[in-house]
Amino acid sequence: MTTFEVTMPGKVVFGPGSIAKLGPEIRTKAARVLLVYSGNNDRVKSALESFKEQSIEISPFVVRGEPTLTAVRAGVKAAHDTDCLAVAAVGGGSVMDAGKAIAAMMTNPGDLLDYLEVIGAGKHLAMAPAFFIAVPTTAGTGTEATRNAVLTSEEHRVKVSLRHASMVPKVALLDPNLTLDLPPDVTASTGMDALCQLIEAFTCRSPNPFTDALCREGIRRAAQSLLKAYWEGSNVQARSDMMLASHFSGVALANAKLGAVHGFAAPLGGMYKAPHGALCAALLPAVLAANLRSLSEQGPGHPVLARYQEVAEIVTGEKDASPEDVTDYCERLRRELNIPRLSDMGVKREDFEELCQKASKASSMKGNPVDLSQEELSGILSSAF
């Protein structure tokens, strides 16, 4: 039996209407909280009501689009200027990543670059972050369960992580009702991000029995409910399934690894303004095909091939499904969800070489079940183009 450790949020609260518990969870930690959100007051209306009921003062901090290093630094300053001792992030993955990074830098000395991977010094956090509670309003990233914050460096044109085990939120509050009004395109891209994370964590270099169990259940829920949530946005059961699938994917990636899809998504997201989940959806079939070719060349008995076959059986419902059926399923799902190809998201062929070089250095690429050559990486981009 392989040894492993599991890092999870200190507390997980799930269920329709659970947003009402936000205020009480914060009240025991701080009387004033930095509220990180997207600027859409309708998205945080129920959160504000919960804070009001507990007489909690808020300092609002808006994060629009992908969180940048500049935004995080501004958030830390806002927290210090208003004497906030806690951070609540209510929003999608970008909002939660920003909140997570702000909470970490509120208590640690120096500049953000001192702690960043790839482009920074990669130092470990010396102090535990400020109390942080994450409330997802999308179902895809699982950021409320991870130990890292993905940030965009505009200067370097790349996404990188601030990472430490202490950054896992103290509380993850999962209310499917907060996703009922998500538009179809956001439902599609975030849902495909969750499915991709589940598949990659299940087939990565270092899975473990704990993450395997979550991945199996998450993949099953996503396969049965993503299209329902896309076509029937008010379907609470489908929304609940997707929120759980997303959360399971976050726990899985925090305790296992990912793969080439997310290895590419980091530089692509840094160079183009395209939704992360849409990029993952466009890349997933091509990465699966490349991995399966390489694994098959190593011999029919490779254990990861059996894992791909298990995924195929779950998503297709067919006991005699082949590993290759996963590729066909994900491509068909991308089309049914109307997610565009890379070329339709503005990706340029002349950037392939730079993208491949950056992807090969990404932390997620290290989890891919096989090593892929620069030629194979370029082939993936061409197939997804």
Task: Give pLDDT, residue 1.
Answer: 62
Model confidence at 369: pLDDT above 80 = yes
Model confidence at 368: pLDDT above 80 = yes
Model confidence at 204: pLDDT above 90 = yes
Percent of the chain at pLDDT exceeding 90 = 91
Per DSSP, 339 falls in state P
Band the pLDDT of 267: cuts 50, 70, 90: very high
Residue type, 209: P
Model confidence at 2: pLDDT above 80 = no
> Tens digits of per-residue pLDDT, 7-31?
999 999 999 999 999 999 999 899 9
> Tens digits of per-residue pLDDT, 64-107?
988 999 999 999 999 999 999 999 999 999 999 999 999 999 99
According to the 3-state scheme, what is the secondary structure of 36-86? EECCCHHHHHHHHHHHHHCCCEEEEEECCCCCEHHHHHHHHHHHHHCCCCE
pTM, to two decimals: 0.94
Domain with CATH 1.20.1090.10 in the chain: 184-384
Q: What's the CA gap between 163 and 281, in Å, rounded?
A: 25
Percent of the chain at pLDDT exceeding 70 = 100
State how beta strands 158-163 and 148-153 pair.
antiparallel
Residues in Cβ contact with 81 at an 8 Å cutoff, skipping those fewer than 6 apart: none
Band the pLDDT of 301: cuts 50, 70, 90: confident
| CA 27 distance to own-chain centroid | 28
> Tens digits of per-residue pLDDT, 33-53?
999 999 988 889 999 999 999
Task: Give pLDDT, residue 158.
Answer: 82
Cβ–Cβ contacts within 10 Å for residue 102, how many? 31
Task: Give me the architecture of the 11-179 domain, per CATH.
Answer: 3-Layer(aba) Sandwich (3.40)
Domain with CATH 3.40.50.1970 in the chain: 11-179
Token pair 């399971």 is found at 248
* Mean pLDDT rounded to a whole number for the chain: 95
Residues in Cβ contact with 246 at an 8 Å cutoff, skipping those fewer than 6 apart: 136, 138, 139, 140, 141, 142, 190, 191, 193, 194, 218
Q: What's the CA gap between 149 and 67, in Å, rounded?
A: 9
Residue type, 88: A
Task: Give pLDDT, residue 383.
Answer: 98
Task: Give me the architecture of the 184-384 domain, per CATH.
Answer: Up-down Bundle (1.20)
Model confidence at 300: pLDDT above 90 = no
Task: Encode 218-251: b = buried (16+ Cβ within 10 Å), e = exposed.
Answer: bbbbbbbbbbbbbeebebeebbbbbbbbbbbbbb
Per DSSP, 129 falls in state P
Name the H helices within the chain. 22-27, 45-53, 69-81, 93-106, 184-203, 209-231, 236-255, 260-271, 276-297, 303-316, 324-336, 352-361, 374-384
> Tens digits of per-residue pLDDT, 140-185?
999 999 999 999 998 888 888 999 999 999 999 999 999 999 999 9
